[in-house]
Amino acid sequence: MSRMPLPYNPKIMDLFRNPKNLGKMEDATVVAVAGNPACGDMITFYLKISDKDIIEKAQFESYGCAANIATSSIVTEMIKCMSLEAAWNDITWKRVVEEIGGLPDVKFHCGVLAVGALKRAIRQYFTQRNVEAPSWLPKEHTFEEKQALEEEELAKTLSKRLKPEAEKKS
């Protein structure tokens, strides 16, 4: 059975073929790994943050699909020189989907993962410095963070999903 190619727009295809800010960042201030429960793909997000809480650089590594690579790439460009507060408030998955010119419905979760990884990195920044979280950072995890699971949570979720399949076969 042949698969229909997904209707990606030219902007997505261009960012997929020539992603910006792809690769490990050696001098990152914070590193966050996030996994997608819908497909099992992973992403690592790196931020270099100044003393004044400005994002100086952002990079990513993705083991996801074209939509994930393209959305991650655009997020790293959108947040450059932003304050953490502005990045937290302004970068939502809806805004990212708009910025990239739309995603096929079945690929929305790939864009959500990119934003979830960013939000996890910002939250982790305050946790790892052991300082009080600023008032703009909600205690409750956002939708995007909930959708972007940590590596261990993702492994658990996927193994639970696989178990009934394995039991059926045995």
Q: How far apart are CA 154 and CA 121, in angstroms?
A: 17
Q: Which listed residue (21, 36, 72, 142) binds ligand FES by CB under 6 A?
A: 36
Residue 96 within binding range of ligand FES, rule CB under 6 A: no
Q: In degrees rounded to 5, what are phi and psi of residue 60? A: -145, 160
The DSSP secondary-structure symbol of 33 reads E
Q: Spell out the alpha helix ranges (H) of the chain.
A: 10-17, 66-78, 84-90, 93-99, 108-129, 143-147, 151-169
What is the pattern of x (binds ligand FES, CB under 6 A) and - over residues 110-139?
A: x--x--------------------------
Cα torsion 76, 45, 17, 41 to 10°: value is -140
At closest approach, how far in Å is the CB of 68 from ligand FES? Answer: 4
Identify which of residues 21 and 62 has a Cβ nearer to ligand FES in the complex.
Answer: 62
Report the nearest approach of ligand FES to the CB of residue 6 (Å).
Answer: 10
41 lies in the binding site for ligand FES (CB under 6 A): yes
76 binds ligand FES (CB under 6 A): no
User: Count of residues binding ligand FES (CB under 6 A)?
Assistant: 10
Q: Does 22 bind ligand FES (CB under 6 A)?
A: no
Nearest distance in Å: CB 29, ligand FES = 25
Is residue 54 within 8 Å of 88, Cβ to Cβ? no
**Angstrom distances, CA of residue 67 to CA of 13, 57, 79, 90, 160:** 8, 22, 18, 20, 26
Which residues of this protein are in contact with ligand FES, per CB under 6 A?
Answer: 36, 39, 41, 64-65, 67-68, 107, 110, 113
